[in-house]
Amino acid sequence: MWEARDRIARERDLSPGRVLQDAAIIELAQKAPKTPGELQALPTMRGRGARRHQSAWLRAVARARDLSERRLPEANVPGDGPPPAHRWADRDPEAAKRLTAARAVVAALADEHSMPSENLVQPDTVRRLAWTPPAEPSVSAVAAALHDLGARRWQIELTAQPIAKAFLRLECKGDL
């Protein structure tokens, strides 16, 4: 279901949450509807976006139901990813500085392009990049890291160089 939502989001150039909310994916996984009527009866599936792609959601549920237990995706475990950002200053001050710098870059670019910063780069992507940055803050290394974190090509093209420069400035200032 995540994959179907992501594919549709990429095709429509929307954030995945605007195509189908996470709560709807959870409910689909728990209830596993088999018919359009069962799907439409779910509280999280009453929005226009959910109804628009109902056949895709039913196909995704059917494919998931047909998977063997060993082919199901692994459950995310706590600790998969960085800790909450408000704890970074104590746990990893350098990462906290990188996060502040990356957020400032993304906010400025989002303002420049008249879009919400979360559409430019997902906040989780920014956090993960700041928590576990590339070994060197080159544009190509930051671009590769953003790609690995699921950023789209246009997002990488707009943000990799400014984020790399911000990380490099922190290194050169000795702030890291």
Amino acid at 50: A
Q: Where are the domains of the chain?
A: 2-71, 85-173
Pick among 1.10.3720.10, 1.10.150.80, 3.30.70.930, 3.40.718.10: CATH of 85-173: 1.10.150.80
Quick one: fold of 2-71?
DNA polymerase; domain 1 (1.10.150)
Q: What is the SS3 assignment for the chain? A: CHHHHHHHHHHHCCCHHHHCCHHHHHHHHHHCCCCHHHHHCCHHHCCHHHHHCHHHHHHHHHHHHHCCHHHCCCCCCCCCCCCCHHHHHHHCHHHHHHHHHHHHHHHHHHHHCCCCHHHHCCHHHHHHHHHCCCCCCCHHHHHHHHHHCCCCHHHHHHHHHHHHHHHHHHHHHCCC
Instruction: Evaluate whether 2-71 and 85-173 have a shared fold.
Output: yes
Distance CA 4, CA 1 (A): 5
Six token digits for residue 124: 């989780």
pLDDT tens track, the chain, 176 positions: 888 989 998 898 888 888 888 888 889 988 999 999 999 999 988 877 788 899 999 999 999 888 887 777 665 555 567 888 888 998 899 999 999 999 999 999 999 999 999 999 999 999 999 999 999 999 999 999 999 999 999 999 999 999 999 999 998 876 55
